[in-house]
Amino acid sequence: MTPVESEETPRQSSVAELKEMVLAGTHQDIQGLVDELKPEDLADVIESSPPSERTALFNLFDEEQQSEIIQHLEEELVPALLDDKTAAEIALVLEKVDDDNVIDILQQMPDELTQQVLEAMDIQYRGQVETLLSYPEDTAGGMMDTNVVSVRPRVTLDTVLRYLRRHPDLPRMTDSVFVVNAEDEYIGTLPLTTLLVSDPSLTVREMMVTEGETIRADTSEHEVASIFERYDLVSAPVLDENNKLLGRITIDDVIDVIIDEADHSLLGMAGLNEDHDTFAPILQTARHRAVWLGANLLTAFIAASVIDLFTDTIEKVVALAVLMPIVASMGGVAGSQTLTLVIRSMAQDDLFSRNLAWLTRREVAVGTLNGVLWAAVVAVAASWFFNDPWLGMIIAVALVINLVVAALAGALLPGILKAMNIDPAIAGTVVLTTITDVVGFLSFLGLATLFYA
């Protein structure tokens, strides 16, 4: 084991110690560790604490620290932490938070409280926030930060350098300066690397980049993430329909989108909401999961009704009841493999109408090959165990049918559900399971009825 694997860093040790203190409820000893940790670490401790402890822990910090911590918390947790504050106090905290994070937090609050907080804000800052609130939260306009540095094309690089030195600090993740004309229309981008290594007497117009990627305010957050990934961007300007510079999006915001989409796909397949608090109360958690369990119960009834059609055959050949789960289970696994692959390809924008047909044919071919392989194995085992070659042949044919149907359903379901405005990540597994169970039972018991009639 390497030292990296076996030894904790001082920061990791402090975070672990702070978490233990929170769980033990010894808040009076916590303040001594706070100065050793960054806001990101404190946010992590708050998120991983039970809900009853979060507000008490959050209130140990002053407004400056709270503003820093809030920027690294899941936005749906923030309203509860600010619940004991007045609208004016909330406004003081949020005015020190980045614009994009403020918007995410306000969108989690009741409309009446949001309006009260806006009225308590500085007039100029309130105008910026209200502009951002006018954009849907899942678009570039809702993601952007209006805190940008822009310059005119006619000034020299030396002037730009002197202008930047007048700022106490630059906005986070600043890798470029945006170039605009007198009407604030976007012209190009001046990378900081170019600014630092070029002749100061040259003008911005001579050194700026005009072919850089720009993003329209109404672009979806998914497309924004794709653009950043495709062109390896650190930041990008956000423009309106008239080409005016509105703000910028930075890579840290895009990483949040990517993580959220990954969480959505992973948790959606289990019927869980990615916005749901891991440490939510029992009743709230049970209510969220009850819907998923109800949907699965409905599919179980559908499968059970198919089995009920063949009770006479099952009574005559009891071995059928033993082997039925094998057919359904194999189909479910094969279908889930295809379904997961297709949903992932859709999320990455790799799947189009022209290659879906090829992928579908491939998955059906793979399902057929695997069906024949494992059908042979199961046929031999069933024939030997029950001393009935017909039974082995029946389950073999049923396995091939179910695996082929499972592959076909897994390939086509995401597109069908998406066309119906249903999220494939959430509904896909339920529908697929229903299909593989019904087809598996129907093919196996149907063939058995024909042979043993």
Distances 311 to 305, 328, 346 between C-alpha atoms, Å: 10, 17, 42
Strands 215-216 and 186-191: unpaired
Q: What is the pLDDT of residue 39?
A: 84
Separation between Cα atoms, residue 372 and residue 398, nearest integer Å: 10
Query: Given 3-state DSSP classes, what are the helix, strand and coil percentages for the chain, each rounded to the nearest 5?
Result: 65, 10, 25
41, 73 Cβ separation under 8 angstroms: no
Summarised one tens digit per residue, pLDDT across range 84-140 is 889 988 988 888 888 778 888 888 888 899 899 999 988 888 888 888 888 988 899
pLDDT band at 164 (very low <50, low <70, confident <90, very high): very high
Q: Which helix (H) or strand (E) holds 178?
A: strand 176-180
Separation between Cα atoms, residue 93 and residue 67, nearest integer Å: 5
- Is 238's pLDDT higher than 50? yes
Q: What is the pLDDT of residue 271?
A: 61
Q: What is the pLDDT of residue 284?
A: 74
Beta strands in 183-338 (DSSP E): 186-191, 215-216, 235-239, 245-250
pLDDT band at 4 (very low <50, low <70, confident <90, very high): very low
Separation between Cα atoms, residue 264 and residue 365, nearest integer Å: 30
Q: Which residue has the higher pLDDT, 361 or 21?
A: 361
* Both structure tokens of 402: 């179910």
- Residue among 93, 187, 91, 101 nearest 144 (CA): 101
Segment 148-164 mean pLDDT: 94
Q: Which residue has the higher pLDDT, 36 or 162?
A: 162
Q: What is the pLDDT of residue 279?
A: 67
Write the CB contacts of 224 (distance below 8 Å, at least 6 apart in sequence). Answer: 140, 143, 215, 236, 249, 254, 257
Ramachandran angles phi, psi of 164, nearest 5°? -65, -35
160, 151 Cβ separation under 8 angstroms: yes
Summarised one tens digit per residue, pLDDT across range 376-403 is 999 999 999 999 999 999 999 999 999 9
pLDDT band at 6 (very low <50, low <70, confident <90, very high): very low
- Structural domains of the chain, with CATH: 3-134 (1.25.60.10), 150-250 (3.10.580.10), 282-452 (1.10.357.20)
**In the 3-class helix/strand/coil scheme, how is 326-369 assigned residue by residue?**
HHHHHHHHHHHHHHHHHHHHHHCCCCCHHHHHHHHHHHHHHHHH
Separation between Cα atoms, residue 22 and residue 11, nearest integer Å: 16
Write the CB contacts of 116 (distance below 8 Å, at least 6 apart in sequence). Answer: 87
Write the CB contacts of 149 (distance below 8 Å, at least 6 apart in sequence). Answer: 164, 167, 170, 171, 174, 177, 178
**What SS3 state is found at 43?**
helix
Q: Which residue has the higher pLDDT, 256 or 369?
A: 369
Segment 239-264 mean pLDDT: 88
Of all residues in the chain, the percent with pLDDT exceeding 90 is 40
Summarised one tens digit per residue, pLDDT across range 22-74 is 666 555 556 666 666 788 888 888 887 777 778 878 887 888 888 888 888 88
Separation between Cα atoms, residue 358 and residue 361, nearest integer Å: 5
Segment 274-297 mean pLDDT: 72
Segment 223-228 mean pLDDT: 92
Q: What is the pLDDT of residue 13?
A: 63
Summarised one tens digit per residue, pLDDT across range 167-224 is 888 888 899 999 999 999 999 999 999 999 999 999 999 999 998 899 999 999 989 9
- Total residues found in the chain within this entry: 453
Separation between Cα atoms, residue 2 and residue 42, nearest integer Å: 28
81, 58 Cβ separation under 8 angstroms: yes
pLDDT band at 17 (very low <50, low <70, confident <90, very high): low
Q: What is the pLDDT of residue 20?
A: 67
Beta strands in 381-438 (DSSP E): none
Q: For residue 150, what are the β-bridge partners?
A: 178
Q: Is 0.85 topped by the overall pTM?
A: no
The count of other CB atoms within 10 Å of the CB of residue 83 is: 11
What DSSP designation does 75 have? G
- Is 10's pLDDT higher than 70? no
Query: What is the average pLDDT score of the chain?
Result: 85
Q: What is the pLDDT of residue 64?
A: 83
Q: Which helix (H) or strand (E) holds 286?
A: helix 282-308
What DSSP designation does 181 have? -
Reading across the β-sheet that carries 215-216, which strands appear in turn?
215-216, 235-239, 245-250
Separation between Cα atoms, residue 437 and residue 416, nearest integer Å: 20
Least confident of 102-111, 300-309, 347-356, 417-426: 347-356
Strands 176-180 and 186-191: antiparallel
